[in-house]
Structure 1
């Protein structure tokens, strides 16, 4: 029995939790692989029940699990809360507490969904398959000193510090090289080495590390050019590695290439398990409880969990292929603008039939 800390969270997270249970049962039946889903509070629901977006018991159970699967947190009900009592605070805290440092964001567009992309059909006629890796623990978001200070003349100055250690860069970049080795052997490192000392160190460390991976084609791009190239010719990319701020921005640009946040999973991994898995989409309170949520990102997050935490590539591929078969039949939730529009449960059941 494999223990999964299951955090449905808020909004459509409550709708999608039933879908997760259906897939747990099907996977147990088909592969004799048992998951113990331990449902735990986080986010707004946890604030309402316990006065804390990440209760101590939730964190304890997460640390004692083999993997953590989170759906979504947040909603307008809690928008005016102080920062430490907002649902998102629970998400930030769990990432930090689990010591995850690498966010993995697959940007994958099915050839049956190219009509959703913001790009011309001829640019993405065969779909997209990119993976963006973002470093999570250093850089501008965490550097010290930081703050807003009042000067003697009464004016204010804001300070943020961008810092990176060579140790962190190398540890993170190794994940990118290893992932590229298992894919198309093409790695792009994104920085701003023409301006920032941080990026010069980043490029130096990545370049030196590349000598240990002679089979990998390494390319360096400045972040502004990378943003342009992702629109101009996204299929040139295989695996992308970049620092925290650049990764935050570029991974959202990648989501725009796909056309629906309901399609994208993510994983946050560290030196040791448990790893954290979550769909990219938010809690979408406006459609909660209406059987409208797209379950694909959740299904793909489950697939990532089997691939990275349980090393069951066969189950991961079967899940992804089952989704592809349903899309091939032009069946999809409303956001996918398919010929046959169905609800959350109906789409999930079609995937289960094809698993």
Structure 2
């Protein structure tokens, strides 16, 4: 158990070195940091409340600047709050965020994507790892998924050229492919990972995905001791459910990373267990790695807050508050390993509040 905790903590602790502390980390006032908090839609309010409660119990030196942003609100025509969130993040540099709902009709764009594009938060990091006490489909799963956040299929450039005919532009650039590749190899180097795998569909999209694949391989030549290979995305999906233990670091364009993060979540026990973070040159936003909104469980006090709590621990390490991060992470893992208090998604009947209180009791 301890070995697992230490390994996961080590894998996350060095993330602050991906960008200059002068440009990314917020200023400390009176020994405290101000962090933007975007609860999000669905179960977001409940799981971010868990984090706030845990941090308060530990006297973690964080003050929250809460900004309400909602895709549900935007669907009803009300203000969705993205502009306010952007301004808050520009001030604070660091945020904790729930998932925002994206309406399926063609008049509303994803607020999650809009936020990342506005601040150029280009790198998504998702950690897919077995958690002791939760029976996954396989044992020995431990890989990182690095996803480009700002282009590819999520460029958002599409139009109807003729009734019934839609043209969508997938934008791939060498600059952004190189940038995300360097992020992936830097992560691998700092966290003793040995292999980076580029995920693509270059057999069909020979120019766009071909550029991505070749750029990753080119960048890999500068990182001695770290291997580089590639997999077509459909094969990668099959390999993920057949032998996920072979993966170490995967680097992907936007859409493929979204698919593989969901597969990874299913392998280890569900979306409520997967922490994540998003990084740019100036800003860092931490959120659950598997982006499920949970509209169906909103207000029912049944959501699993583990992914949000572990994402918040990543935030603490980013700020250099390693001791607080380690204590909170260990308490969370201990509650899950004990098996007495667990939420419905991992085979229990405990509420979000009961799970949160059990963590706080471990911290006492």
> Which TM bucket (shorter chain)?
0.7 to 0.9
Gaps in structure 1 of 5+ consecutive residues: none
Confirm or deny: 8 A CA contact 2:44 2:98 kept in the other structure.
yes
How does the TM-score come out when normalised to structure 2? 0.82
| CA distance in 2: counterparts of 1:201 and 1:80, whole angstroms | 31
Instruction: Report the counterpart of residue 130 of structure 1 in structure 2.
Output: 143
CA shift for structure 1 position 314: 4.1
Matches within 5 A, 1:270-285: 270-273=280-283, 275-279=284-288, 280-285=290-295
The answer to whether the 8 Å contact 1:46/1:55 transfers is no
Structure exhibiting the larger radius of gyration computed from Cα positions:
1
Matches within 5 A, 1:1-355: 1-28=32-59, 33-43=60-70, 47=74, 51-54=78-81, 56-74=83-101, 83-84=107-108, 89-114=110-135, 117=136, 119=137, 124-126=138-140, 128-142=141-155, 146-150=158-162, 156-181=164-189, 182-195=191-204, 196-273=206-283, 275-279=284-288, 280-307=290-317, 309-330=318-339, 331-338=341-348, 341-355=349-363
Q: List runs of 5+ in structure 2 lacking aligned partners.
A: 1-31
Q: Is the contact made by 2:48 and 2:308 (CA closer than 8 Å) also made in structure 1?
A: no
Q: Is the 8 A contact 1:190 1:242 kept in 2?
A: yes
Aligned residues: CA RMSD: 2.6
Question: Is the 2:134–2:346 contact (alpha carbons within 8 Å) kept by the matching residues of 1?
Answer: yes
Give, in whole Å, the separation in 2 of the partners of 1:15 and 1:143.
Answer: 31
Shift of 1:199: 2.3
Shift of 1:142: 1.4
Q: Which moved more, 1:167-176 or 1:262-271?
A: 262-271
